[in-house]
Amino acid sequence: MRILVTGGAGFIGSHLIDRLMAQGDEVICLDNFFTGRKHNILKWLDNPYFELIRHDITEPIKLEVDQIYHLACPASPIHYQYNPVKTIKTNVMGTLYMLGLAKRVKARFLLASTSEVYGDPEVHPQSEEYRGNVNPIGPRSCYDEGKRVAETLAFDYHLQNNVEIRVARIFNTYGPRMLENDGRVVSNFVVQALKGQPLTVYGDGSQTRSFCYVADLVEGLIRLMNGEHTGPINLGNPDEYTILQLAQAVQNRVNPDAEIIFKPLPQDDPKRRQPDITKAKTLLDWQPTIPLAEGLKLTIEDFRDRVTSPEGHHLASV
């Protein structure tokens, strides 16, 4: 099969490409390198079944493919808030062009949506039926509302034009290849601990998140794409931790002497988040297999190479 991965040079996209290439598919990676890195896909560049296209999805493009994993969009608050209008364009125009492409070539289209469509949730855990509590004019709305429109577009192309769609609502995912300066909590804490800097907990650290290791998530995406259900389907690890617990877990593993300091909580920061994965379990026979302790170990090893060796640091910045 010929498979297009938008955002394929990014964190999740590059792990997905590793799986698709290993199973013998032909892969086209499309990326504008805003938060993606060539280094993430370096090992495939000479492979004749792999093609890299530098392209911004806010412009149309014509390609012939069988499946589209649509992941292109910055995922970390500091990156998606850097240029909010661009984030909306990426989610709305970018998704529109990719759905147009799927319609033209009759490709199956999977949207990487997000738990952020639930906003600061009033129900817990979040099931797919919950319609969310999103601030339409807050600092997170370019991303949250952008993804909500992207879901709407996917379903409208499905209902109006019979495009085969799959919608994954991805919860916080972590693992090797996250950017050092990503600003997301796992990468921040690990980098801070490795550099001997204080770990920055926002607020009092009582807010919760549920962290899914990237290999588990990629397995869920592939099952969703190749299964019979459009979704939306939550993909995430239901093991819920407070941010303070996460800081302590990283502290214990990397540097028990690392200090924990408290900084102001960003506006509209969701208080609790935990996926209800009943649908993924029953419809996709999927559930995460890698507990936080194990995933953190693998993530810390990857960051240790980059943060502590000058060569690793240089390579990872390409």
187 touches ligand NAD by CB under 6 A: no
Residue 240 pairs in a beta bridge with: 210
121 touches ligand UDP by CB under 6 A: no
Q: Select from 3, 4, 7, 205 the one that contacts ligand NAD (CB under 6 A).
A: 7
Which of 97, 143, 157, 213 is catalytic? The answer is 143
Part of the chain binding ligand UDP (CB under 6 A), chosen from 16-24, 96-104, 262-270, 277-285:
262-270
Which of helix, strand or coil describes residue 213?
A: strand
146 touches ligand NAD by CB under 6 A: no
Query: What is the Cα–Cα distance from 212 to 77, expressed in whole angstroms?
Result: 18
114 touches ligand NAD by CB under 6 A: yes
Is 48 exposed, middle or buried, given 0-12, 13-18 or 19+ CB atoms closer than 10 A? Answer: exposed
Minimum distance, C-beta of residue 140 to ligand NAD, in the bound complex (Å): 12
Q: Cβ(14)–Cβ(73) under 8 Å? A: no
Which residues 47-106 are close enough to bind ligand UDP by CB under 6 A? 77
**Which H or E run contains 245?**
helix 243-254
Per partner kind, with CB cut-offs from 5 to 8 A, the member of ligand UDP, ligand NAD, none near residue 233 is none
Give the orientation angle of helix 141-161 with respect to helix 95-105, to 10 degrees. 20
Query: What is the Cα–Cα distance from 138 to 196, expressed in whole angstroms?
Result: 34
The backbone region for 3, taken as left when phi is positive above 0, alpha when psi lies in -120 to 50, beta otherwise, is beta
Part of the chain binding ligand UDP (CB under 6 A), chosen from 43-51, 63-71, 101-109, 184-192:
184-192
Q: Which residues contact 1 (CB under 8 A, 6 or more apart)?
A: 25, 26, 66, 67
Residue 213 pairs in a beta bridge with: 174
Whose Cβ is closer to ligand UDP: residue 50's or residue 174's? Answer: 174
Which residues 298-317 are close enough to bind ligand UDP by CB under 6 A? none
Minimum distance, C-beta of residue 170 to ligand NAD, in the bound complex (Å): 4
192 touches ligand NAD by CB under 6 A: no
Q: Select from 20, 27, 72, 142 the one that contacts ligand NAD (CB under 6 A).
A: 72
Our answer to whether residue 157 is catalytic in this structure is no
User: What b/e string do you get for 162-200 counting C-beta neighbours within 10 Å, with b at 16 or more?
Assistant: ebebbbbbbbbbbbbbbbbebebbbbbbbbbbbeeeebe
Positions marked catalytic: 143
Which residues here bind ligand NAD, judged by CB under 6 A? 7, 9-13, 31-36, 56-58, 71-75, 90, 94, 112, 114, 170, 172-173
Binding site for ligand UDP (CB under 6 A): 77, 172, 184-185, 188, 200-202, 207, 209, 243, 265-266, 269
